[in-house]
Structure 1
Amino acid sequence: MTANADATEPLWNWDFRKWFAGRTISTLGTEATAIAIPVLIFQQTGSPALTGLVSAVIVLPYLVFGLIAGGVADRMNRRGLMVASDLVGAMALVSIPIAHLAGLHSTVHILVVTFVVWTAFVWFDAASFGALIAVVGKSKLAAANSALWSSATVVGIVVPALAGIVIALWGPEVILMADALSAVASALLIMRIRTDLRPTAVVDGSSEKLWRSIREGLRFIWASTTLRLATLGMAALTFAGGLAMGLLVVFFARALDAPQGALGVFFAAAAVGALLASLTLTRLRRRFGPGRLMVLAFLGFVPLLVLFAFVPAWVASLVIWTAWNFLRTLATINNITIRQEETPPELQGRVNMTGRMIALSGTPAGALVGGVLVEFVPIQVVFAMAAVPVLAVSLVFLRSPLWTRSTDGDIGQ
């Protein structure tokens, strides 16, 4: 193994090429699986509640293991942790096609596999933060993240449409087998990275030290009015997003007159909205200021979700869905940036991981609430109800520093 990267090495060196290829292949499989699992559940059960439960199961591992995984990843060889995570995920995924061929269909099995796969991803993700810095060096971290984000966005545009076609022709089990193979390929590429991915400093590994670090991150967020409001606001936003994404398959079946395979187009449209948000974020922050931009994104989010719920024409819904995901992603990236700007260097890891977990807590709650409500209430009404907490937060934002301190120098300095 070689030492960690330094500023004189080019970004696209041997190790980063392996890293980039591994992450792209893994992202490709994960995007497809996130579509295939809800479809598989709905095909087998016809239950909106169980279909919505998938979104909750996907996010739950991050809430359960996120902070612990981050602490552990700073105390052990990140290469071994990432490779093990890939292989565990692959073994779990391949069990579903095998069960399908054997005629052993089980909804519980599918949900357990979903939990295991995304738990493996959490541990991989925790190790990847430090590993990427080791591979490219701090001076090229922004360029590396830009390349990885662009790749993930392109994958998010192309893969859902292809996944919709594959599912329609051969079934969702084929997607899961392909994802298992992508995880194995990712593990092999990571094993070929020559940079030393072990932590550079000896860290106190005691549980007392770990939990003390977690509490420091929580205290910092709560002490900052800006971070406290933004983080709690994102929990409301992810609640609505979790409900909408968790019930999208059901919404297609019950409320839209869309052609076969169009579900994949909607997932691709969400990625297009995300790409537009990433491309315009810097310009919009300069125009409105980071705080005011967040408030405007939240306010625009509300009517778009209501419109999506009640517009039956699928082409019009596709346009609204794209715009809704643009604002959802814009608010998310802007929130992450504000948090990074407000946090001192020595607290970046703990504060960002803590903030992410609090924000993500809304996703499983929204998915579960939506899945239950749709059994008793028309799905269009359920979608519209998801906008209520976002509207409430938006009204609070209007009287907060996020709106009153509107320049780039007021928030994030």
Structure 2
Amino acid sequence: MDIRPLRVRPYRRLWLSTAVTSIGAQLTAVAVPKQVFDLTGSSGYVGLTGAVALVPLLVFGLWGGAIADMMDRRKLLLITNSGIALSSILLWLQAAMGAQSVWVVLLLLGVQQSFFAVNMPTRSAAISRLVPPELMPSAMALGSTIFTFGAVLGPLLAGALLPVLGLSTLYLVDSVALVLAMYAVWRLPPMPPLSGEIRRAGLRDVVDGFRYLAGQTVLLASFLVDIIAMVAGMPRALFPEMAERTFGDPPGGGSALGWLYAAIPLGAFVLGLSSGWLHKVNRHGVGVIISVCVWGAAMVGFGLSSALWLAVVFLAIGGAADMVSAVYRSSILQMAAPDDMRGRMQGVFTVVVAGGPRLADITHGWTAAGTGTAVASAGGGVLVIILTVASAIWLSAFWRYRADKQVATAME
């Protein structure tokens, strides 16, 4: 790995806050769909969690990006981290008290995702203020790697802790981790707008962001291919059902569920450990297109798997491919957008990255309810490949994108 960005103290603090919270966040990511499935016994209801999370992401992700361009990003991180922590505490309380209402869980999930939707574009937009342009791909790889480390360990811990300590403990650990991470965010330097103008963000600022995006073919293409990969190819809504009915977990949860949730980030984490070569590749658009096609092929293999170990292997391959795609797409966005638009572009990025899987939860959950999990996953993987190849032909400027030229422009 290229660890040069960690020599920059402010970036190191932001990176450490991600490290602390990533494990806890993944415990909640397992606990919510598991609790919903336990209460309803339906993958359709698990898919509904995607719809509940999607609306706040659409609204607050776009608005949050505009806010990040108009106020001190450090202050905004503190506010949103506090909101995420409070919602996690409330999730713990309802589970510990034995509340049997799926609607309470969904309501709290929606509140948490509202704060998350503002936090993510703010956190991402802050990176370009902390590291020089030539270290951007390495900084993106480091951030993705530590996040995927938590995404590997978190689900495995969840699978081990569920039968022993119960579901409510997963929410509690996430709450504690979020509170601890507040110190690292507090130590970040102030990051007011470079223009010196601090004001309230309104609808006009969001519209201005879309006007800017409309003229940026490369940025539009990077968002499009990720939407294709996630909406058509992310099968996580199927994990609770497949863990029990395909791979033999007991009704209360077990190791198969943990492995399914951990497999994609496991592949990404392994790739991240050897990510030093990523900054040497100039054809970022080509890297994205190829990696998304590999992701689609891996989801086909996962959908057709009847053995847990084989399913985990295919998911891990998909995770490694997604890691490459994420690093290059993030680098393109950081370099191609100016600072006064970076928060808004990261807001769109958050809607795409976090909203896409929520749409996938809906489509995969209800497709599986009608046709079965194998058709939902494998069919989605085939669709990913077809649509990605078509996009590469249609948006040839993305295929020709070169990072070295963009860095030279940024340094001038």
TM range (shorter): 0.7 to 0.9
Instruction: Name the structure 2 match of 1:252.
Output: 243
Is 1:72 equivalent to 2:64 in the alignment? no
CA separation of 1:296 and 1:282: change in aligned 2, threshold 3 A? farther
1:266 aligns with 2:257: no
Residue among 287, 295, 299 paired with 2:289: 295
Contact 2:192-2:198 at 8 Å conserved across structures: no
C-alpha distance in structure 2 between counterparts of 1:152 and 1:253, whole Å: 27
2:224 aligned residue (226, 232, 239): 232
CA distance in structure 2 between the partners assigned to 1:345 and 1:172 by the alignment = 42
Aligned counterpart for 1:218 among listed residues 209, 213, 217: 213
Indicate conservation of the 8 Å contact 1:278/1:333, yes or no: no
Pair 1:124-2:119 in alignment: yes
Distance apart, 1:220 and its partner CA: 2.2
Aligned-residue offset at 1:26:
2.0
Aligned length: 398
Measured after TM superposition, the shift of residue 23 of structure 1 is 2.9
Cα distance, 1:189 vs structure 2: 4.2
Q: Which residue of 1 aligns with 2:99?
A: 104
SS in 1 for 2:325: helix
TM-score (norm 2): 0.82
Superposition map of 1:8-407 within 5 A: 11=7, 13=9, 18-129=13-124, 131=126, 136=130, 138=132, 142=136, 145=140, 147-191=142-186, 193=187, 195-199=189-193, 201-203=196-198, 205=200, 207=202, 209-221=204-216, 224=217, 226-242=218-234, 244-257=235-248, 260-278=254-272, 283=277, 289-343=283-337, 347-358=341-352, 360-397=354-391, 399-400=393-394, 402=396
The 8 Å contact of residues 73 and 190 in structure 2, kept in 1 or not, is answered as no
Q: What residue identity is the alignment partner of 2:259?
A: V
Q: Which moved more, 1:155-164 or 1:33-42?
A: 155-164
Q: Structure 1 residue 48: deviation in Å? A: 0.7
Query: Which deviates more from structure 2 when the two are superposed, residues 230-239 or residues 399-408?
Result: 399-408
Amino acid at match of 1:231: F
CA shift digits 1:183-232 (9 cap, x unpaired) = 222234434x27334445114546364134223333223xx2x4434422
Note the C-alpha offset of 1:339. Answer: 4.1
2:23–2:150 CA contact under 8 A, matched in 1: yes
Q: 1:100 to 1:266 in 2, by over 3 A?
A: closer
1:12-49 Cα distance to aligned partner (Å, 9 max, x none): 64x66654443322222112111111111111211111
- Counterpart contact for 1:160–1:265, Cα < 8 Å: yes
Alpha-carbon shift at residue 334 of structure 1 (Å): 2.7
Give how far 1:335 is off: 2.9
Displacement after TM superposition at 1:113 (Å): 1.0
Q: Which amino acid aligns with 1:300?
A: V
Q: 2:410 is matched with which residue?
A: none
- 3-state SS of the aligned residue for 1:195? coil
SS at match of 1:202: coil
- CA distance in 2 between counterparts of 1:17 and 1:167 reads 33
Tell me, in whole angstroms, the C-alpha distance in 1 between the residues paired with 2:37 and 2:317: 27
Distance 1:128 1:162, change over 3 A: same
Contact 2:260 / 2:312 at 8 angstroms: preserved in 1?
A: yes
Is the 8 Å Cα contact of residues 87 and 108 (structure 2) preserved in structure 1?
A: yes
Shift of 1:393: 1.2
Whether the 8 Å contact between 1:284 and 1:293 is mirrored in structure 2 is: no
- Quick one: distance in 1 between partners of 2:397 and 2:112? 40
Unaligned runs of 5+ in 2: 408-412
Once the two structures are TM-superposed, the CA of residue 173 in structure 1 deviates from its matched residue by 0.9
Gaps of 5+ in 1: 1-8
- Contact 1:292–1:402 at 8 Å: present in 2 too? no
Over the residues paired in the alignment, what is the CA RMSD in angstroms? 3.5
Q: State the secondary structure of the residue aligned to 1:74.
A: helix
Q: State whether residues 397 and 403 of structure 1, in contact with CA within 8 Å, keep that contact through their aligned partners in structure 2.
A: no
Q: CA deviation at 1:409?
A: 7.3
SS in structure 2 of the partner of residue 374 of structure 1: helix
Matched residues in 1 for 2:380 and 2:292: separation?
13
Q: Percent identity?
A: 20
